[in-house]
A and B are shown apart, each in its own frame.
Chain A
Amino acid sequence: MSVASKKCNPPAGEDSVAPVYALLGELLSREIDEGLLAILRLTEVKEILARVEPDVAPVLEEIWDEARFEEHSVEFCRLFIYPGDCLPIAGKWTGNAEDETFSVRRWFLEEGASPDLAKHLAELSDTHVAKILAIRAGLTGVSEEVMGGYENEMIHPWRSAFAKRLSECAQLPVYRAVAGILDALE
């Protein structure tokens, strides 16, 4: 299947799930800072997070001091960098023996078909879940077929195993909530 498609960012409502993918991409690729915290505190976002992880509500209500930000940075590092209790490499979660090459670049055979990702996403390995999720956010405007194909091929194989693991080993509610949202995507 090869589908050429016009680039566009549709008005909100056409593919409203895209920003959720974008948010997950952020949370899995960088530490929570003031900006990201503000997005987490948006009414709709906060509500959903609290639904999947009730313990997150008080955390988001509080004022975050330096220690609180650092606590989350340490958690981020422990989960996703080193020791990587929940290494965000997609291939580790597909259930296939030794799939570390499961990569988003393969999905785009033609050169030049790469999205303009922010630096912290662009420098990630093509096998990183955050990159895969962020690119999904950029697929707005393509046909449903292509979008469905991407979700099936690139996200579905690892999503629930990774989310399960994250919910089991995350110690802070915010990251357990991330697992919950991830789990809810179809």
Chain B
Amino acid sequence: MPELLPWEKVGSEFKKVRKRAGMLIDLRRCVGCHACTVSCKTENEVPLGGFRMRVRYLERPGPEQSTIAFAPLICMQCQDAPCLTACPSKAIVRGEDGRVKVDESKCDREEECITACPYGAIFINEEKQVAEKCDLCEHRTDVGLDPACVSSCPSEALQFGDFDDPEDPVTKIAADAGALGWKENEGTKPSVLYIGHEPWMEEKANSGVQLSEADMDVTYEQNNLEVGKR
């Protein structure tokens, strides 16, 4: 029996049981290539204008600093999820492995979740007429694959694992590097942890995942700049 090729190792038998599914995002490795952003869009058929995740280009603030920091922002899979609490239709649920997902059959588009989320992780999918956000590519993890973004990152900046498993590499690396959540003071207890993120980034990122008028990123350029008479 020939050995399975890497892409043949797909199926429910390859699914790992996890207690607290989460992601480790290492900003020391990220090169801002957007492989994750585009991969997510393609995998999940995310409509233009809405984002399950987005890589932010944040110009470093100091007068002596002249480069750009890259920060992929995503649903933080909070253990204490404001969206879940806020939804009047109970359309946001927690999976067995702790991930937070939208039950589309129950969503009534009250948009309380969007208001409650400090990370801008949720948007309304106009054609499906429901709220949508990252669910860690459940259809992939169910068959032993990593989420699409993790699978496509060429510098291992994105890793997927189980933060309740002390042996899981993400747990160990996060502990060693002192990884923190984004906007820790919101108290949402995210299961997405960052290595190398700095306070100024949180401020500059504004709404986070979705587009915002206040964004000054040089990608996703918008009309927020007063573009002269054209």
Residues of A within 8 A of B (CB): 96-99, 101
Least Cβ–Cβ distance between A157 and chain B, in angstroms:
11
Instruction: Flag if A96 contacts B45 (CB, 8 Å).
Output: no
What are 12 of the A-B contact pairs (CB < 8 Å)? A96-B126, A96-B127, A97-B47, A97-B48, A97-B49, A97-B126, A97-B127, A98-B47, A98-B48, A98-B127, A99-B127, A101-B45
Kindly list the 5 A-B residue pairs having the minimum CB-CB distance in the complex, ordered from nearest: A96-B127, A97-B47, A98-B47, A97-B126, A98-B48
Contacts of B47 in A (CB 8 A): 97-98
Interface of A is mostly: loop
Cα separation A24 to B64 with both chains bound (whole Å): 67
- Chain A: minimal CB distance from B194 (Å): 31
Shortest beta-carbon distance, A176 to chain B, in Å? 30
Q: Given A98-B127, A101-B45, 10 other A-B contacts at CB below 8 A? A: A96-B126, A96-B127, A97-B47, A97-B48, A97-B49, A97-B126, A97-B127, A98-B47, A98-B48, A99-B127
Interface residues of B (CB under 8 A from A): 45, 47-49, 126-127
Of all chain A residues, the one with the shortest Cβ separation from B127 is A96
The minimal Cβ–Cβ distance linking B167 to chain A, given in whole angstroms, is: 41
Instruction: Report how far A96 CA is from B126 CA in the complex, Å.
Output: 7
Q: Which residues of B contact A96 (CB under 8 A)?
A: 126-127
Shortest beta-carbon distance from A129 to chain B in Å: 19
Q: Which residue of B lies closest to A94 (CB)?
A: B127
- CB-defined contacts of B48 to chain A, threshold 8 Å: 97-98
* Chain B residues within 8 Å of A98, by CB: 47-48, 127
Across the two chains, which residue of chain A brings its CB closest to B48? A98
Complex CA–CA separation, A98 to B45 (angstroms):
10
Across-interface contacts of B127 in A (CB, < 8 A):
96-99
* A105: min CB distance to chain B, Å: 16
- Closest chain A CB from B104 CB (angstroms): 16
A residues within 8 A CB of B49? 97
- Bound together, the chains give a CA A97 to CA B47 distance in angstroms of 7
Q: What are the residues of chain A within 8 A of B45 when measuring CB–CB?
A: 101
Residues of chain B contacted by A97 (CB below 8 angstroms): 47-49, 126-127
Contacts of A101 in B (CB 8 A): 45
Closest to B50 in A: A97
Instruction: For the complex formed, measure the closest distance between the CB of B127 and the CB atoms of chain A, giving whole angstroms.
Output: 4
Q: Which residue of B lies closest to A101 (CB)?
A: B45
How far does the Cβ of B48 sit from chain A's closest Cβ, in whole Å? 6
Q: How far is the CB of B46 from chain A (nearest CB, A)?
A: 9
Chain B proximity of A106: nearest CB distance (Å): 12
Q: Which partner residue on chain B sits nearest A98 by CB separation?
A: B47
Nearest chain A residue, comparing its CB with the CB of B46: A98
User: How many Å from the CB of B221 to the closest CB on chain A?
Assistant: 20
Assembled-state Cα–Cα distance A98/B127 (Å): 9
Task: Give the docked Cα–Cα distance between A96 and B124 (Å).
Answer: 13
In the complex, A97→B49 CA distance in Å? 10
Minimum CB–CB distance for A103 against chain B, Å: 12
A167 → chain B, closest Cβ, in Å?
26
Rounded to whole angstroms, the CA-CA distance of A99 and B128 in the bound complex is 11
Chain A residue nearest in CB terms to B129: A96
**What residues on A are CB-neighbors of B126 within 8 Å?**
96-97
What separation, in Å, do the CA atoms of A118 and B47 have in the docked complex? 34
In the complex, how many angstroms separate the beta carbon of A179 from the nearest chain B beta carbon?
Answer: 25
Q: How far is the CA of A97 from the CA of B126 in the complex (A)?
A: 7
- Please report the C-alpha to C-alpha distance between residue A101 and residue B49 in the assembled complex, in whole angstroms: 17
**Chain B nearest CB: distance from A33 CB in Å?**
38
Bound: A97/B50 CA distance, A: 11
Q: State A119–B188 Cα separation when bound (angstroms).
A: 58
The answer for the CA separation of A136 and B49 in the assembled complex, in Å, is: 34
Report how far A48 CA is from B31 CA in the complex, Å.
Answer: 63
A100 CB to nearest B CB, Å = 10
A2 CB to nearest chain B CB (Å)? 21
